[in-house]
């Protein structure tokens, strides 16, 4: 099948995988980066330092502001619980949105059970948070705002610059889940007053199982750690560093930095040909926003067709309805529902996500397959006849 699920995960770039191989075996650098008494440890530590710098360079951070984690799910947990528990004497109110990733929403639900109060903002119809709604929801005891940069289902980009200013003016911590934005659109933390930012390697052509949390140093942001132990990562996340994974993430992020412009042009072109190829199908609805969204995600609904049956009919395409994380359930996407899209249309949604290795030919073939599948399914559908 044609892979069109780059928002779920990306393949590791060959040069990244090759580099990682040098940090595993007896003839490579396999030491523990925390071993301070011999060369094996120093070499591993040096490799980690280089990767930390590469990662920092992509996002405009200081290398001392990066905490390695197992991925963005863990980073989101660490950021939100870490701030909540450390600063709960200051207040117990947290603001987020209804369209966040489950790793944010479920962490927030957990905190509600621990006595925190949550406000879940409803975005506007295009998925963007209304800044006035945000301002109005701020209470005296609000300690944290957590809003994602790019939505994983529809690709909408939030105005994190202005949100960060609102948070700064109210002395509220601001956490950004930037998993889908990092490496795709430019983020410069030097110019934004973001306190914490989550990201993951496997969305940026790096390996799975490694990610990071940016934690601002000036002014210093303090967190309660979730994983206790040897005091690695300045006490914020104990556990022996996965050197090969970290090296892979560093390499992938530097590649992303060098290719960010070309990747953007490439995915924009392909997304446009995909949409141009299918937009004239009857009863097709665009759930993404071509101007205010990232180019690699295109979410559409085909009225009178069940998303799941469409995915089955399109077995030559690797696509998803909504996100991989929730596609196990048959509920319509909570993200689309939060945008006010009615159940039938939310049920008939498909997410195409394209990437560095997608070709023009693949998109042409995709357009053809979609036309065929829709024609076939609608001919079978009693609703369509009426
Ligand atoms: N946040 C967003 C917006 C995501 O798209 C994902 C991945 N589906 C995550 C968090 C979780 O990332 P990870 O797979 O690294 O835990």
Tell me the mean pLDDT in the region 68-73: 98
Using an 8 Å Cβ cutoff, are 360 and 303 in contact? Answer: no
Residue 323 has pLDDT above 60, yes or no: no
Dist. CA 109 → ligand 1 center (Å): 17
Q: Is the CB of residue 152 less than 8 Å from the CB of residue 287? A: no
pLDDT digits 0-9 by tens, 103-155: 999 999 999 999 999 999 999 999 999 999 999 999 999 999 999 999 999 99
How many helices, marked H, and strands, marked E, lie in the chain?
12, 12
103 lines ligand 1 (CB under 6 A): yes
HSE-CB of 378 using CA atoms within 13 angstroms: 17
Higher pLDDT, 321 or 302: 302
Mutate to test the pocket of ligand 1, among 70, 200, 333 (most ligand atoms within 8 A of CB): 200
Catalytic residue among 14, 108, 167, 325: 325
Is residue 328 very low, low, confident or very high in pLDDT (cuts 50, 70, 90)? low
Q: Would you place residue 345 in the very low, low, confident or very high pLDDT band (cuts 50, 70, 90)?
A: very high
Mean pLDDT of 212-220: 97
Nearest ligand 1 atom, CA 103: 10
211-240: average pLDDT: 96
Is there a contact between 83 and 56 (Cβ–Cβ < 8 Å)? no
- pLDDT for 54 beyond 90: yes
pLDDT of amino acid 385: 65
**Among the listed residues 213, 214, 210, the one whose alpha carbon sits nearest the alpha carbon of residue 241:** 210
Measured CA to CA, the distance from residue 112 to residue 106 in angstroms comes to 10
DSSP secondary structure string for all residues of 165-185:
HHHHHTT-EEEEE-TTTTTTS
Closest atom of ligand 1 to CA, residue 148: 3
Q: Nearest 10 degrees: CA dihedral of 155, 161, 166, 170?
A: 110
In this predicted structure, what is the pLDDT of residue 321?
81
Q: What is the reported pTM? A: 0.96
Task: Kindly report, residue by residue over 297-318, the tens digit of the pLDDT.
Answer: 999 999 999 888 899 999 999 9
What mean pLDDT comes out for the span 287-292? Answer: 97
pLDDT at 34: 96
- Asked if 302 and 287 touch (Cβ cutoff 8 Å), the reply is no
Predicted ipTM? 0.98
Q: Is the CB of 227 under 6 A from ligand 1?
A: no
Question: Cα(318) to centroid of ligand 1, in Å?
Answer: 18
Among 257, 312, 267, which residue's Cα sits nearest to residue 288? Answer: 267
Q: Please indicate whether residue 152, judged by its CB atom, sits closer than 6 Å to ligand 1.
A: yes
Verify whether ligand 1 is closer than 6 Å to residue 210 (CB atom). no
325 catalytically annotated? yes
The answer to whether the CB of 101 is under 6 A from ligand 1 is: yes
Higher pLDDT, 324 or 147: 147
Rounded CA-CA distance 253/344 in Å is 39
Give per-residue pLDDT as tens, 263-281: 999 999 999 999 999 999 9
Ligand 1 centroid–CA 235 distance in Å is: 24
Is residue 73 annotated as involved in ligand binding? yes
101 pLDDT tier (thresholds 50, 70, 90): very high
The ligand 1 atom at the shortest distance from the C-alpha of residue 74 is 16
Q: Which of 245, 265, 268 is nearest to 71 (CA)?
A: 245
The predicted pLDDT at position 386 comes to 52
3-state secondary structure of 106: helix
All domains in the chain, ordered by first residue = 2-6+260-372 (3.90.1150.10), 14-255 (3.40.640.10)
Q: What percent of the chain has pLDDT over 70?
A: 97
Give me the residues paired with residue 293 across strands.
156
């Amino acid at each position: 099948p044609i892979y069109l699920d780059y928002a779920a995960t990306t393949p590791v770039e060959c040069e990244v995988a090759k580099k990682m191989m040098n940090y595993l075996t007896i003839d490579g650098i396999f030491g523990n980066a925390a071993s301070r008494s011999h060369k094996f440890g120093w070499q591993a530590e040096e490799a980690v330092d280089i990767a930390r710098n590469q990662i920092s360079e992509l996002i405009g951070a200081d290398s001392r502001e990066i905490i390695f984690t197992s991925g963005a799910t863990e980073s989101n947990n660490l950021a939100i619980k870490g701030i909540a528990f450390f600063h709960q004497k200051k207040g117990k109110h947290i603001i987020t949105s209804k369209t966040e990733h489950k790793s944010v929403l479920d962490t927030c639900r957990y905190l509600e059970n621990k006595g925190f109060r949550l406000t879940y903002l409803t975005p506007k119809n295009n998925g963007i948070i209304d800044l006035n709604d945000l301002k109005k929801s701020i209470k005296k005891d609000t300690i944290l705002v957590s809003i994602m940069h790019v939505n994983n289902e529809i690709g909408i980009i939030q105005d994190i610059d202005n949100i960060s200013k609102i948070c700064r003016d109210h002395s509220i911590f601001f956490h950004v889940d930037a998993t889908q934005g990092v490496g795709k659109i430019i983020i410069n933390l030097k110019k934004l007053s973001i306190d914490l930012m989550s990201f993951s390697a496997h969305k940026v052509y790096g390996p799975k199982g490694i990610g990071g949390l940016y934690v601002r140093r000036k002014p210093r942001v303090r967190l309660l750690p979730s994983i206790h132990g040897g005091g690695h990562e300045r006490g914020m996340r104990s556990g022996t560093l996965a050197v090969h994974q970290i090296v892979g993430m560093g390499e992938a992020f530097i590649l992303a930095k060098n290719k960010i412009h070309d990747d953007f042009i490439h995915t924009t072109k392909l997304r446009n040909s995909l949409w141009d190829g299918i937009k004239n199908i009857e009863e097709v609805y665009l759930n993404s926003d071509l101007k205010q969204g990232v180019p690699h995600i295109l979410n559409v609904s085909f009225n009178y067709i069940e998303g799941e049956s469409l995915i089955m009919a399109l077995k030559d395409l690797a696509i998803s309805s909504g996100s991989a994380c929730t596609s196990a359930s048959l509920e319509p996407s909570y993200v689309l529902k939060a945008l006010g899209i009615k159940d039938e249309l939310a049920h008939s949604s498909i997410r195409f996500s394209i990437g560095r290795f997608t070709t023009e030919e693949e998109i042409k073939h995709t357009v053809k397959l979609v036309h065929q599948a829709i024609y076939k399914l609608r001919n079978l559908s009693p609703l369509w006849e009426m």
